[in-house]
Structure 1
Amino acid sequence: MISNEVQSILLHDKGKELIIPSENVANLNCNNNLYHALLVLSQVKYSSIPVLDNESRIRGLISMPMIIKAIMSIDSIHFEEMEKITVKEVMNKNVPIIYTSSELEEILNKLIDHNFLCVIDEQGYFIGIITRKEMLSRVNHLVHEMHNQYDLNDKSLTKIN
Structure 2
Amino acid sequence: MNAAFLITPKSDVKFVYDHWTIRQALEKMEHYRYSAIPILNKKGIYVGTLTEGDILWNLKKNEDLDFWDTEKMLLKDVPRYRDIKAISIDVEIEDIMEKSLSQNFVPIVDDSGVFIGIIRRREIISYLLKLREEAQSKA
How high is the TM-score relative to the length of structure 2? 0.86
Q: 1:103 aligns with which of 82, 92, 96?
A: 92
Deviation at 1:94, TM superposition (A): 1.2
CA positional deviation for 1:147: 2.5
The alignment yields a C-alpha RMSD, in angstroms, of 2.3
- CA distance in 2: counterparts of 1:22 and 1:124, whole angstroms: 13
3-state SS of 1:43 partner: helix
* Structure with greater contact order relative to length (CA < 8 Å, sep ≥ 6): 2
Three-state SS of the structure 1 residue aligned to 2:58 is helix
Output the CA distance in 1 between the equivalents of 2:33 and 2:124.
17
Q: Which runs of 4+ in 1 moved over 3 A?
A: 72-77
Gaps of 5+ in 2: none
Aligned-pair identity in percent equals 27
Cα 1:135–1:76 shift into 2, 3 Å: same
- Asked if residue 121 in structure 1 is aligned to residue 110 in structure 2, the reply is yes
Tell me, which stretches of 5 or more residues in structure 1 are unaligned? 1-6, 153-161
Query: What is the CA deviation profile of residues 104-141 of structure 1, one whole-angstrom value per residue up to 9, with x for unaligned ones?
Result: 23112322332211100001100100111111012112
Q: What's the CA shift for 1:76?
A: 7.3
Q: Equivalent residue of 2:32, what SS?
A: coil
Contact 1:48-1:61 within 8 A present in 2 as well: yes
* Cα distance change on mapping 1:74 and 1:88 into 2, 3 Å: closer
Aligned residues: 138
Verify the 8 A CA contact 1:48 1:63 in the aligned structure 2: yes
Q: What is the TM-score normalised by the length of structure 1?
A: 0.75
Question: Max radius of gyration: which structure?
Answer: 1
Separation of aligned partners in 2, 1:34 and 1:124: 24
Q: CA deviation at 1:74?
A: 8.3
Report matched runs for 1:5-154 at 5 Å. 7=1, 17-72=5-60, 78-92=66-80, 94-148=83-137, 150=138, 152=139
